[in-house]
Amino acid sequence: MECASSRFVLVMLTLTMYVSAMVSAAPQPLNSSSISLEVFYDGSCLVEETFNVTMELGEVQLELLAKPYEPTNGTSTLLVLDDEGGPMIYELEDEKLLRVAVVNTTYIKVLYVTQELTEKHGEIWTLNVTSSAEIMLKLPDGFVITSMDPVPEIIDVEKGYIIMKYPEGSKTATLSYTVPVTIVPINETSGETGQTEQGGESGTQQETGDTTQQSNQQQEKPSGTSIYFPVSITQGSTSFILAALIILVVAAAAIIYLYKRSSQEPVLLTPEDEAIIKVLKSYGGGAYQSEIMRAVGLPKTTVWRRIMRLSSLGIVEVKKVQGKNYVILKR
């Protein structure tokens, strides 16, 4: 009897050590396999990085190309998606390090806005990208490229954009360019000036009105193919506006995806899902993953998959509390 009891204690101790090792195990580090980068007029860049995933369940650590832009209002420009376009649970560990929970996805796509890749000296902008991944740069067709090192493998013009592609391999792609600005003069015709000289005081008043009207019309409908800026541009103000617009676009895309997904695919809870929700309610709306496992009597991987599905549906929320997964019932 004592021998059997000792054996049981030994097995439980070994199992506890094994589970603890799994919980405290470091996430698998991943490097991006491809990078798509779109450059805007104020130097901001919209970055899309793709990371290939080899595991079905676990945690990975992603090192981003640059620090995501953080507006002063605290809104994040970061979006992490799985291979179906669904949002993933992540934690920003450092300025460029992401910890992501992986559940049945072949790759992870990370989108964000950054201002860390460009700098301006006088009228010349310089873009520097260091990575071993495949890189695609996208610039508006109006940009004037002054130098590039190394020369891209492919240079093309597509839908009003200059497309440059670099193959895989360790490299630093450096690109210098200028942003064209069309200057619209206030008065282009000499006829109005002549009328002013002949018309005296009344002519001066007429010229002032005509000039104001002409200037407004020119600002509303600038001519030519160059980019027209009716006011002076400062990097700080336009960066904030641009980042805010991009945040709205990304947020709208996520909302549309979730709406379509919820409208096209009715939410059907499995018996396991309902059991987990029942356990959370019995615990007052929140419980540790280990407590849920004991209550429902299912394997760890099964419970984690169901929790991740409930999280993607917005039914539960997962938080780290003292290094353990704590599941909160949201609705």
Same domain, 40 and 165: yes
244 occurs within a structural domain: no
Name the more confident of 22 and 147: 147
Can you give the pLDDT at residue 279?
92
Domain annotation covers residue 185 = no
Q: CB count, 10 Å around CB of 267?
A: 11
Please give the tally of structural domains in the chain.
2
Compute φ and ψ for 88, nearest 5 degrees.
-115, 155
Q: What is the pLDDT of residues 116-128, one digit of tens each?
A: 999 999 989 999 9
- CA dist., res. 245 & res. 314, Å (int): 25
Q: Does a structural domain hold residue 229?
A: no
- What tens digit of pLDDT does each residue of 283-307 get? 999 999 999 999 999 888 888 888 8
**Bigger pLDDT: 230 vs 323:** 323
Question: Last residue of a domain, which of 146, 178, 210?
Answer: 178
Buried b / exposed e across 14-34, counting CB within 10 Å, b at 16+?
eeeeeeeeeeeeebeebebeb
Least confident of 134-138, 172-176, 226-230, 248-252: 226-230
Q: What range defines the domain where residue 121 resides? A: 28-178
Tens digits of residue pLDDT in 209-243: 454 444 444 444 444 333 333 333 344 445 555 55
Which of 156, 178, 200 is a domain's end point?
Answer: 178
> What is this structure's pTM?
0.53
**Residue 151 domain-assigned (yes or no):** yes
Asked whether residue 241 is assigned to any structural domain, the reply reads no
Residue 116: what pLDDT? 93
Which of 178, 198, 214 is the C-terminal boundary of a domain? 178
Domain CATH code at residue 80: 2.60.40
Domain match, 283 and 168 both:
no
- 234 occurs within a structural domain: no
Tell me, yes or no, whether 75 lies in a domain. Answer: yes
* Host H or E run for residue 312: helix 300-312
CATH number of the domain bearing residue 296:
1.10.10.10
